[in-house]
Homo-oligomer: A and B are copies of this chain.
Amino acid sequence: MTEPAFIAVDWGTSSFRLWMLDRDGKPLAERRSGEGMTTAASSGFAAILQSHLDAIAAPADLPVLICGMAGARQGWIEAGYIDLPASVSGIAAGAVRIAGESRDIRILPGLAQRRAADPDVIRGEETQLLGALSAFSGGDHVVCMPGTHSKWVHVSGDTVDGFSTFMTGELFDVITRHSILSHAVAGSETIDDAGFADAAVDAYAAPAMVTNLLFRARAGQLLHGLSADAAKSQLSGTLIGVEIAGALSHAKKGAVVRLVASGRLQHLYETAFRRLAIDFTTIDADDAVRKGLFAAARTIWPLTQETQA
């Protein structure tokens, strides 16, 4: 077995993922748990991290690099933001070290778009971006990172020019749980690709109708006995279709869409892109964040690597 070189941690609002990596970025051990920022804020960031390091018997001098909400104001330590336009490879330089720990533990900063007209922030996705862009050499990219708060990032070469957050995932959640549409989707188990894609097309074509398109799930149930699965597919397709329409309205001509996703969201966005005839390539989101953490760690601790080799 090769020697471990770094610990990489993606610490989100509700999830924790840790990898022990060798000097080439190969994972030697992995941990996943639901101990996200929300849990850690009460039970302690240091204790949670240490329990996972103990579980994989991580050497005491191995440095740890963290990205995500652990660096938010409500997190372990505020890692701040790098302002746009920002160099993706430059985020490593903004890492903030946790004081009072014998181990070298650092958290990567987020990115901030401070323009008064469209203020926006990213935290965690900048590291995914660093990993995702390692696959390409220059050029203009529109990087789509779907989720609770989907991020669309406009990149030229190594530079982030701008980005937009769309509340797609969270809106889907609050609408299906707390609005009158909760009745229309009650008991739904699966999203139907065809219904989802039809709704995405409708919303993409007429985004101004979005709050009406959502209501049609209820009217369709009242008048045509629309099933819960069909209603849920319609709501999901509507919100994702509007997101794509909005995001691409800001894309540079000729920029290629890079989808950074995995699992269920990867499938939905790929289905929508295909149906809308939008060219894209997919990068696995888990790979992207691990590669991004590795690339930043190599920049921060170049000698550590030599020492351990």
Which A residues form the contact surface with B (CB < 8 A)?
Answer: 112-114, 116, 118-121, 149, 164-168, 170-171, 174-175, 177-181, 206-212, 214-216, 219-220, 222-224, 239, 242-243, 245-246, 249
Contact = CB atoms under 8 A, between A and B. Distances in A.
Most buried by B among A171, A206, A210: A210
A224 B219 CA distance: 40
Interface of A: prevailing SS: helix
Given A174-B179, A175-B174, A211 B166 contact: yes
B239 A211 contact: yes
A119 B223 contact: yes
Contact of A249 (B179, B209, B223, B245): B209
A119 to B, nearest CB: 4
Given A119-B220, A174-B178, A219-B121, A242 B211 contact: yes
B209 A210 contact: no
B245 A208 contact: yes
A242 B206 contact: no
A26 B181 CA distance: 39
Given A121-B219, A219-B121, A212 B249 contact: no
A219 B119 contact: yes
A215 B179 contact: no
A246 B209 contact: yes
A121 B223 contact: yes
B216 A119 contact: yes
Nearest to A163: B212
Contacts of A149: 180, 215
Given A119-B216, A211-B246, 13 more contacts: A114-B223, A118-B216, A120-B212, A121-B223, A149-B180, A167-B212, A167-B215, A168-B211, A170-B180, A171-B211, A208-B246, A209-B246, A209-B249
B178 A121 contact: no
Closest 8 CB pairs of A and B: A207-B208, A208-B246, A208-B245, A119-B219, A209-B246, A166-B211, A174-B178, A119-B223
A223 B82 CA distance: 12
A127 to B, nearest CB: 19
Given A170-B180, A224-B116, A210 B212 contact: no
Nearest to A223: B119
A282 to B, nearest CB: 22
A126 to B, nearest CB: 15
